[in-house]
Amino acid sequence: MKTLEKYSMGIGDRFGHQGKAQLQAMVQARSEGIEIVPVWNKSFREHSIIGTQPADVRTEADAAVKSLGWKGGYYVDADHINLKNVETFIEYSDFFTLDVAEEIGHPAEAEAIQAFVKFCDNYIRTLEIPGIDKPFDITRETITAAARKYLFAVQKAGEIYRHLVSAKGEGNFITEVSMDETDAPQTPVEMFLILAAIAREGIPAQTVAPKFTGRFNKGVDYVGDTARFEREFNEDLAVIAFAVKEFGLPANLKLSVHSGSDKFSIYGPIRKALARFGAGLHLKTAGTTWLEELIGLAEAGGEGLKIAKEVYARALEKMDALCAPYATVIDIDPAKLPSAEQVRAWDGSTFAAALRHDQSCGNYNAHFRQLLHVGYKVAADMGARFTDALKADEEEIAKHVAANILQRHLRPVFGR
Protein backbone atom coordinates (compact mmCIF):
# COMPACT_ATOMS: atom_id res chain seq x y z
CA MET A 1 0.00 0.00 0.00
CA LYS A 2 1.19 3.52 -0.75
CA THR A 3 1.93 4.92 2.67
CA LEU A 4 2.25 8.61 3.35
CA GLU A 5 5.26 9.58 5.45
CA LYS A 6 4.86 10.99 8.95
CA TYR A 7 5.50 14.61 8.01
CA SER A 8 4.27 16.00 4.72
CA MET A 9 3.60 19.43 3.37
CA GLY A 10 1.07 20.31 0.73
CA ILE A 11 2.47 22.86 -1.62
CA GLY A 12 0.34 24.60 -4.17
CA ASP A 13 1.67 26.41 -7.16
CA ARG A 14 -0.91 28.42 -9.03
CA PHE A 15 1.14 28.90 -12.20
CA GLY A 16 3.32 25.81 -12.00
CA HIS A 17 6.67 27.59 -12.15
CA GLN A 18 7.91 27.16 -8.57
CA GLY A 19 8.13 23.39 -8.18
CA LYS A 20 11.90 23.45 -8.02
CA ALA A 21 12.08 26.36 -5.58
CA GLN A 22 9.53 24.65 -3.33
CA LEU A 23 11.41 21.38 -3.40
CA GLN A 24 14.67 23.21 -2.74
CA ALA A 25 13.21 24.26 0.64
CA MET A 26 12.55 20.58 1.44
CA VAL A 27 16.05 19.58 0.37
CA GLN A 28 17.43 22.17 2.78
CA ALA A 29 15.03 21.04 5.54
CA ARG A 30 16.19 17.43 5.11
CA SER A 31 19.78 18.52 5.48
CA GLU A 32 18.69 20.02 8.81
CA GLY A 33 17.17 16.71 9.92
CA ILE A 34 13.53 17.51 9.08
CA GLU A 35 12.08 14.41 7.40
CA ILE A 36 9.50 16.01 5.17
CA VAL A 37 7.92 14.98 1.87
CA PRO A 38 6.20 17.27 -0.62
CA VAL A 39 2.66 16.88 -1.90
CA TRP A 40 1.81 19.12 -4.82
CA ASN A 41 -1.85 19.98 -4.43
CA LYS A 42 -4.24 21.80 -6.70
CA SER A 43 -7.99 21.88 -6.44
CA PHE A 44 -10.54 21.75 -9.22
CA ARG A 45 -11.40 25.34 -8.25
CA GLU A 46 -7.83 26.53 -8.81
CA HIS A 47 -7.50 24.64 -12.09
CA SER A 48 -10.70 26.18 -13.42
CA ILE A 49 -9.77 29.72 -12.37
CA ILE A 50 -6.28 29.51 -13.88
CA GLY A 51 -7.02 27.27 -16.84
CA THR A 52 -4.55 24.51 -15.98
CA GLN A 53 -5.03 20.74 -16.08
CA PRO A 54 -4.23 18.04 -13.51
CA ALA A 55 -1.60 16.70 -15.93
CA ASP A 56 0.33 19.97 -15.54
CA VAL A 57 0.83 19.40 -11.82
CA ARG A 58 2.21 15.90 -12.44
CA THR A 59 4.59 17.27 -15.07
CA GLU A 60 5.77 19.99 -12.72
CA ALA A 61 6.31 17.63 -9.76
CA ASP A 62 8.18 15.05 -11.83
CA ALA A 63 10.38 17.72 -13.38
CA ALA A 64 11.26 19.29 -10.01
CA VAL A 65 12.08 15.89 -8.52
CA LYS A 66 14.25 14.95 -11.47
CA SER A 67 16.04 18.25 -11.61
CA LEU A 68 17.02 18.22 -7.92
CA GLY A 69 17.60 14.48 -7.75
CA TRP A 70 15.08 14.16 -4.89
CA LYS A 71 15.19 10.64 -3.50
CA GLY A 72 12.31 10.84 -1.02
CA GLY A 73 8.63 10.28 -1.58
CA TYR A 74 6.46 12.86 -3.30
CA TYR A 75 2.81 13.01 -4.30
CA VAL A 76 0.33 14.83 -6.47
CA ASP A 77 -2.90 15.64 -4.65
CA ALA A 78 -6.25 15.99 -6.38
CA ASP A 79 -7.36 18.52 -3.81
CA HIS A 80 -10.99 18.95 -2.78
CA ILE A 81 -12.47 16.64 -5.37
CA ASN A 82 -15.84 14.91 -5.55
CA LEU A 83 -17.50 12.49 -7.97
CA LYS A 84 -18.47 15.33 -10.31
CA ASN A 85 -14.97 16.59 -10.98
CA VAL A 86 -12.54 13.78 -10.15
CA GLU A 87 -12.25 12.22 -13.62
CA THR A 88 -9.48 14.39 -15.10
CA PHE A 89 -7.37 13.93 -11.96
CA ILE A 90 -7.40 10.14 -11.84
CA GLU A 91 -4.51 9.41 -14.18
CA TYR A 92 -2.15 12.04 -12.75
CA SER A 93 -2.77 11.98 -9.01
CA ASP A 94 -1.73 9.50 -6.35
CA PHE A 95 -3.27 11.43 -3.46
CA PHE A 96 -6.96 12.29 -3.36
CA THR A 97 -8.67 14.70 -0.99
CA LEU A 98 -12.28 13.60 -0.89
CA ASP A 99 -14.22 16.73 -0.05
CA VAL A 100 -17.56 15.93 1.49
CA ALA A 101 -18.12 19.13 3.46
CA GLU A 102 -21.11 20.00 1.31
CA GLU A 103 -22.88 16.81 2.38
CA ILE A 104 -22.59 17.59 6.09
CA GLY A 105 -26.02 17.98 7.66
CA HIS A 106 -27.74 15.99 4.96
CA PRO A 107 -29.21 13.08 6.96
CA ALA A 108 -28.48 9.52 5.86
CA GLU A 109 -31.33 7.02 5.58
CA ALA A 110 -32.91 6.08 8.88
CA GLU A 111 -31.79 2.45 8.56
CA ALA A 112 -28.19 3.46 8.00
CA ILE A 113 -28.30 5.72 11.02
CA GLN A 114 -29.70 2.90 13.16
CA ALA A 115 -27.05 0.50 11.94
CA PHE A 116 -24.34 3.02 12.73
CA VAL A 117 -25.66 3.62 16.24
CA LYS A 118 -25.64 -0.14 16.75
CA PHE A 119 -22.06 -0.34 15.48
CA CYS A 120 -21.09 2.26 18.10
CA ASP A 121 -23.04 0.53 20.91
CA ASN A 122 -19.83 -0.17 22.75
CA TYR A 123 -19.12 3.49 23.25
CA ILE A 124 -22.41 4.48 24.85
CA ARG A 125 -20.81 5.11 28.21
CA THR A 126 -18.33 7.36 29.93
CA LEU A 127 -15.51 7.12 27.46
CA GLU A 128 -11.95 7.70 28.55
CA ILE A 129 -9.54 8.46 25.77
CA PRO A 130 -5.85 8.21 26.65
CA GLY A 131 -4.28 11.66 26.55
CA ILE A 132 -7.51 13.53 27.34
CA ASP A 133 -8.02 14.46 30.98
CA LYS A 134 -11.77 14.64 31.09
CA PRO A 135 -13.79 11.60 30.01
CA PHE A 136 -16.66 12.08 27.54
CA ASP A 137 -20.23 11.11 28.33
CA ILE A 138 -21.44 9.48 25.16
CA THR A 139 -25.14 8.73 24.90
CA ARG A 140 -27.28 7.16 22.19
CA GLU A 141 -28.38 10.72 21.37
CA THR A 142 -24.78 11.90 20.92
CA ILE A 143 -24.20 9.16 18.36
CA THR A 144 -27.53 9.63 16.60
CA ALA A 145 -26.95 13.37 16.29
CA ALA A 146 -23.44 12.86 14.90
CA ALA A 147 -24.75 10.24 12.48
CA ARG A 148 -27.45 12.60 11.24
CA LYS A 149 -24.88 15.27 10.67
CA TYR A 150 -21.96 13.29 9.25
CA LEU A 151 -22.93 9.78 8.16
CA PHE A 152 -24.22 10.76 4.74
CA ALA A 153 -21.03 12.74 4.06
CA VAL A 154 -18.91 9.72 4.96
CA GLN A 155 -21.05 7.50 2.72
CA LYS A 156 -20.33 9.94 -0.11
CA ALA A 157 -16.61 9.73 0.64
CA GLY A 158 -17.01 5.95 0.40
CA GLU A 159 -18.54 6.28 -3.06
CA ILE A 160 -15.68 8.44 -4.29
CA TYR A 161 -13.13 6.11 -2.71
CA ARG A 162 -14.63 3.01 -4.36
CA HIS A 163 -14.72 4.81 -7.69
CA LEU A 164 -11.00 5.54 -7.31
CA VAL A 165 -10.27 1.93 -6.38
CA SER A 166 -12.01 0.74 -9.52
CA ALA A 167 -9.96 3.16 -11.62
CA LYS A 168 -6.53 2.96 -9.95
CA GLY A 169 -6.56 -0.24 -7.92
CA GLU A 170 -6.54 -0.62 -4.16
CA GLY A 171 -3.48 0.63 -2.31
CA ASN A 172 -2.18 2.70 -5.22
CA PHE A 173 -3.10 6.09 -3.81
CA ILE A 174 -3.34 8.05 -0.58
CA THR A 175 -6.79 8.96 0.67
CA GLU A 176 -7.67 12.07 2.62
CA VAL A 177 -11.15 12.88 3.84
CA SER A 178 -11.78 16.60 4.19
CA MET A 179 -14.58 18.37 6.02
CA ASP A 180 -12.89 21.71 6.53
CA GLU A 181 -14.90 23.97 4.25
CA THR A 182 -17.94 24.15 6.46
CA ASP A 183 -19.21 26.54 9.13
CA ALA A 184 -19.03 24.63 12.40
CA PRO A 185 -15.86 22.99 13.74
CA GLN A 186 -16.10 19.31 14.66
CA THR A 187 -15.74 18.46 18.33
CA PRO A 188 -13.35 15.69 19.39
CA VAL A 189 -16.32 13.37 20.02
CA GLU A 190 -17.68 14.10 16.57
CA MET A 191 -14.23 13.42 15.18
CA PHE A 192 -14.18 10.05 16.95
CA LEU A 193 -17.56 9.13 15.48
CA ILE A 194 -16.59 10.37 12.02
CA LEU A 195 -13.55 8.10 12.18
CA ALA A 196 -15.80 5.23 13.23
CA ALA A 197 -17.93 5.90 10.17
CA ILE A 198 -14.90 6.17 7.89
CA ALA A 199 -13.60 2.82 9.15
CA ARG A 200 -16.99 1.19 8.78
CA GLU A 201 -17.25 2.54 5.25
CA GLY A 202 -13.93 0.80 4.49
CA ILE A 203 -12.01 3.97 3.60
CA PRO A 204 -8.30 3.55 4.48
CA ALA A 205 -7.90 7.27 5.22
CA GLN A 206 -4.34 8.32 5.92
CA THR A 207 -5.19 11.95 6.54
CA VAL A 208 -8.29 13.67 7.78
CA ALA A 209 -8.99 17.38 7.57
CA PRO A 210 -11.48 18.61 10.11
CA LYS A 211 -12.61 22.16 10.52
CA PHE A 212 -10.78 23.53 13.52
CA THR A 213 -11.99 26.20 15.86
CA GLY A 214 -11.10 29.77 14.82
CA ARG A 215 -10.58 31.32 11.43
CA PHE A 216 -8.09 29.99 8.91
CA ASN A 217 -8.07 32.89 6.53
CA LYS A 218 -6.08 32.55 3.36
CA GLY A 219 -2.48 33.63 3.55
CA VAL A 220 -2.67 35.35 6.93
CA ASP A 221 -2.25 34.37 10.57
CA TYR A 222 -4.74 32.38 12.62
CA VAL A 223 -7.62 34.39 14.06
CA GLY A 224 -9.18 32.96 17.18
CA ASP A 225 -8.58 31.60 20.64
CA THR A 226 -5.16 29.96 20.39
CA ALA A 227 -5.48 28.29 23.80
CA ARG A 228 -8.73 26.66 22.74
CA PHE A 229 -7.22 25.65 19.41
CA GLU A 230 -4.31 24.05 21.26
CA ARG A 231 -6.61 22.08 23.55
CA GLU A 232 -8.78 20.83 20.70
CA PHE A 233 -5.80 20.02 18.51
CA ASN A 234 -4.34 17.90 21.32
CA GLU A 235 -7.69 16.20 21.80
CA ASP A 236 -7.95 15.48 18.09
CA LEU A 237 -4.53 13.81 18.17
CA ALA A 238 -5.60 11.72 21.15
CA VAL A 239 -8.84 10.77 19.39
CA ILE A 240 -7.00 9.74 16.22
CA ALA A 241 -4.51 7.55 18.10
CA PHE A 242 -7.40 5.92 19.96
CA ALA A 243 -9.58 5.48 16.86
CA VAL A 244 -6.73 3.89 14.90
CA LYS A 245 -6.57 1.14 17.52
CA GLU A 246 -10.30 0.79 18.06
CA PHE A 247 -11.32 0.69 14.41
CA GLY A 248 -8.23 -0.67 12.68
CA LEU A 249 -7.67 2.46 10.61
CA PRO A 250 -4.25 2.91 8.94
CA ALA A 251 -1.57 3.29 11.62
CA ASN A 252 -0.22 6.43 9.94
CA LEU A 253 -3.57 8.25 9.96
CA LYS A 254 -2.88 11.89 10.78
CA LEU A 255 -4.41 15.33 10.77
CA SER A 256 -4.32 17.50 7.69
CA VAL A 257 -4.41 21.23 8.37
CA HIS A 258 -5.92 23.07 5.44
CA SER A 259 -5.27 26.74 4.73
CA GLY A 260 -2.24 25.87 6.82
CA SER A 261 0.17 28.44 5.45
CA ASP A 262 1.06 31.48 7.48
CA LYS A 263 -0.69 30.39 10.71
CA PHE A 264 2.32 31.47 12.73
CA SER A 265 0.60 31.87 16.09
CA ILE A 266 -0.48 28.20 16.21
CA TYR A 267 2.68 26.59 14.84
CA GLY A 268 4.20 26.50 18.32
CA PRO A 269 1.20 24.70 19.86
CA ILE A 270 1.02 22.32 16.87
CA ARG A 271 4.68 21.40 17.14
CA LYS A 272 4.39 20.81 20.88
CA ALA A 273 1.32 18.61 20.41
CA LEU A 274 2.97 16.54 17.67
CA ALA A 275 5.93 15.91 19.96
CA ARG A 276 3.66 14.99 22.87
CA PHE A 277 1.81 12.34 20.84
CA GLY A 278 4.59 11.36 18.47
CA ALA A 279 2.04 12.21 15.81
CA GLY A 280 2.49 13.01 12.15
CA LEU A 281 1.02 15.95 10.27
CA HIS A 282 0.07 17.05 6.80
CA LEU A 283 0.25 20.82 6.48
CA LYS A 284 -1.59 21.97 3.42
CA THR A 285 -0.68 25.26 1.84
CA ALA A 286 -1.20 26.75 -1.58
CA GLY A 287 -1.44 30.48 -2.21
CA THR A 288 1.47 31.48 -0.01
CA THR A 289 3.79 30.64 -2.94
CA TRP A 290 1.87 32.84 -5.37
CA LEU A 291 2.26 35.76 -2.97
CA GLU A 292 6.02 35.16 -2.90
CA GLU A 293 5.97 35.30 -6.69
CA LEU A 294 4.45 38.75 -6.46
CA ILE A 295 7.01 39.78 -3.86
CA GLY A 296 9.80 38.53 -6.12
CA LEU A 297 8.38 40.38 -9.11
CA ALA A 298 8.07 43.59 -7.09
CA GLU A 299 11.61 43.28 -5.72
CA ALA A 300 12.97 42.56 -9.19
CA GLY A 301 11.67 45.98 -10.32
CA GLY A 302 11.05 47.00 -13.93
CA GLU A 303 8.37 45.01 -15.74
CA GLY A 304 7.99 42.71 -12.71
CA LEU A 305 7.09 45.59 -10.41
CA LYS A 306 4.79 47.05 -13.05
CA ILE A 307 2.94 43.73 -13.26
CA ALA A 308 2.66 43.42 -9.48
CA LYS A 309 1.09 46.89 -9.28
CA GLU A 310 -1.29 46.13 -12.15
CA VAL A 311 -2.41 42.92 -10.49
CA TYR A 312 -3.30 44.92 -7.41
CA ALA A 313 -5.09 47.68 -9.30
CA ARG A 314 -7.22 45.19 -11.20
CA ALA A 315 -7.85 43.05 -8.13
CA LEU A 316 -9.15 46.16 -6.42
CA GLU A 317 -11.58 46.81 -9.28
CA LYS A 318 -12.81 43.22 -9.30
CA MET A 319 -12.73 42.73 -5.55
CA ASP A 320 -16.27 41.40 -5.13
CA ALA A 321 -16.01 38.80 -7.86
CA LEU A 322 -12.56 37.63 -6.74
CA CYS A 323 -13.58 37.33 -3.10
CA ALA A 324 -16.86 35.49 -3.70
CA PRO A 325 -15.44 31.93 -4.01
CA TYR A 326 -13.38 32.51 -0.86
CA ALA A 327 -15.98 34.29 1.26
CA THR A 328 -15.65 31.94 4.24
CA VAL A 329 -11.85 32.13 4.35
CA ILE A 330 -10.99 35.82 4.00
CA ASP A 331 -11.67 38.95 6.04
CA ILE A 332 -10.87 42.09 4.09
CA ASP A 333 -11.70 45.56 5.36
CA PRO A 334 -11.86 47.70 2.19
CA ALA A 335 -11.18 50.83 4.27
CA LYS A 336 -7.73 49.46 5.09
CA LEU A 337 -6.72 48.87 1.47
CA PRO A 338 -4.39 51.36 -0.20
CA SER A 339 -5.75 52.94 -3.38
CA ALA A 340 -4.39 51.89 -6.77
CA GLU A 341 -3.06 55.45 -7.02
CA GLN A 342 -1.04 55.09 -3.82
CA VAL A 343 0.36 51.73 -4.83
CA ARG A 344 1.38 53.08 -8.24
CA ALA A 345 3.75 55.44 -6.44
CA TRP A 346 5.43 52.65 -4.42
CA ASP A 347 8.86 51.26 -5.16
CA GLY A 348 9.53 47.52 -5.15
CA SER A 349 10.56 47.23 -1.53
CA THR A 350 7.53 49.22 -0.32
CA PHE A 351 5.24 46.87 -2.26
CA ALA A 352 7.09 43.85 -0.90
CA ALA A 353 6.97 45.15 2.68
CA ALA A 354 3.20 45.67 2.52
CA LEU A 355 2.76 42.15 1.18
CA ARG A 356 5.40 40.09 3.00
CA HIS A 357 3.97 38.24 5.99
CA ASP A 358 6.14 39.88 8.60
CA GLN A 359 3.84 41.05 11.38
CA SER A 360 6.67 42.87 13.11
CA CYS A 361 6.97 45.17 10.10
CA GLY A 362 4.88 48.33 10.44
CA ASN A 363 4.21 48.41 6.68
CA TYR A 364 2.71 44.92 6.51
CA ASN A 365 -0.97 45.09 5.49
CA ALA A 366 -3.04 41.92 6.01
CA HIS A 367 -5.91 43.32 3.91
CA PHE A 368 -3.64 44.06 0.99
CA ARG A 369 -2.21 40.55 1.34
CA GLN A 370 -5.58 38.81 1.40
CA LEU A 371 -6.86 40.68 -1.62
CA LEU A 372 -3.77 39.74 -3.60
CA HIS A 373 -4.12 36.17 -2.33
CA VAL A 374 -7.44 35.81 -4.12
CA GLY A 375 -6.28 38.02 -6.99
CA TYR A 376 -4.42 35.31 -8.90
CA LYS A 377 -7.15 35.24 -11.52
CA VAL A 378 -6.03 38.70 -12.61
CA ALA A 379 -2.53 37.34 -13.22
CA ALA A 380 -3.96 34.31 -15.00
CA ASP A 381 -5.86 36.66 -17.32
CA MET A 382 -2.57 38.38 -18.22
CA GLY A 383 -1.53 35.09 -19.81
CA ALA A 384 1.96 34.93 -21.29
CA ARG A 385 2.83 38.42 -20.11
CA PHE A 386 2.64 37.19 -16.54
CA THR A 387 4.34 33.82 -17.05
CA ASP A 388 7.09 35.45 -19.13
CA ALA A 389 7.79 37.74 -16.18
CA LEU A 390 7.96 34.68 -13.90
CA LYS A 391 10.62 33.26 -16.21
CA ALA A 392 12.51 36.52 -16.53
CA ASP A 393 12.70 37.03 -12.76
CA GLU A 394 12.98 33.36 -11.87
CA GLU A 395 16.06 33.69 -9.71
CA GLU A 396 14.73 36.51 -7.54
CA ILE A 397 11.34 34.80 -7.16
CA ALA A 398 12.78 31.37 -6.33
CA LYS A 399 14.75 32.88 -3.47
CA HIS A 400 11.56 34.21 -1.86
CA VAL A 401 9.51 31.08 -2.52
CA ALA A 402 12.09 28.75 -0.97
CA ALA A 403 12.82 31.00 2.01
CA ASN A 404 9.11 31.37 2.80
CA ILE A 405 8.57 27.62 2.88
CA LEU A 406 11.70 26.83 4.81
CA GLN A 407 11.91 29.66 7.31
CA ARG A 408 8.29 30.54 7.92
CA HIS A 409 6.78 27.04 7.59
CA LEU A 410 9.02 23.97 7.71
CA ARG A 411 11.27 25.06 10.55
CA PRO A 412 8.57 26.42 12.89
CA VAL A 413 6.21 23.45 12.39
CA PHE A 414 8.48 20.46 11.88
CA GLY A 415 11.90 21.63 13.11
CA ARG A 416 13.57 20.18 16.13
Q: Which is nearer to Zn ion, 98 or 366 (CB)?
A: 98
Cβ nearer to Zn ion, comparing 258 with 356:
258
Q: Could you tell me the smallest distance in angstroms from the CB atom of residue 93 to Zn ion?
A: 16
How many CA atoms lie less than 13 Å away from 94 in the CB half-sphere? 14
Classify residue 193 by burial, with Cβ atoms within 10 Å: 0-12, 13-18, 19+. buried
User: In this complex, which beta carbon is closest to Zn ion, that of residue 180 or of residue 299?
Assistant: 180
Q: Where are the alpha helices (DSSP H) in 169-225?
A: 188-200
- For residue 52, the minimal CB distance to Zn ion (Å) is 18
Number of residues that this document lists for the chain: 416
Give the closest residue to 414 by CA, choosing from 274, 240, 308: 274
Q: How many CB atoms lie within 10 A of CB 319?
A: 16
For the bound state, the minimum distance from the C-beta of residue 219 to Zn ion, rounded and expressed in Å, comes to 14
Q: Give dist(CA 171, CA 114) in Å, integer.
A: 31
Cβ–Cβ under 8 Å, residues 151 and 116: yes
Nearest distance, CB of residue 179 and Zn ion, angstroms: 9
CA atoms of 298 and 355, how far apart (whole Å):
10
Nearest distance in Å: CB 178, Zn ion: 5
**Which among 226, 206, 208 is positioned nearest to 216, based on CA atoms?**
226
The neighbouring-strand residues paired with 343 are none
Binding site for Zn ion (CB under 5 A): 180, 258
C-alpha 389/C-alpha 407 separation (Å) is: 25
Q: How near is the Cβ of 288 to Zn ion at its closest, in Å? A: 14
**DSSP annotation string for 26-48:** HHHHHHTT---EEEEEEEHHHHH
Minimum separation from the CB atom of position 181 to Zn ion (A): 6
Q: Could you give the CA distance from residue 78 to residue 88 in angstroms, rounded to a whole number?
A: 9
Q: Where are the beta strands (DSSP E) in 309-412?
A: none
CB of 14 to Zn ion, least distance (A): 16
Round to whole Å and give the CA distance between 101 and 157: 10
Phi, psi at 13, each rounded to 5°? -150, 95
Chain residue at closest Cβ approach to Zn ion: 258
- Minimal distance in Å, beta carbon 209 to Zn ion? 6
Pick the closer one to Zn ion by CB: 57 or 352.
57
Cβ atoms of 211 and 188 within 8 Å: the answer is no
Looking at the Cβ atoms of 46 and 180, the one nearer to Zn ion is 180
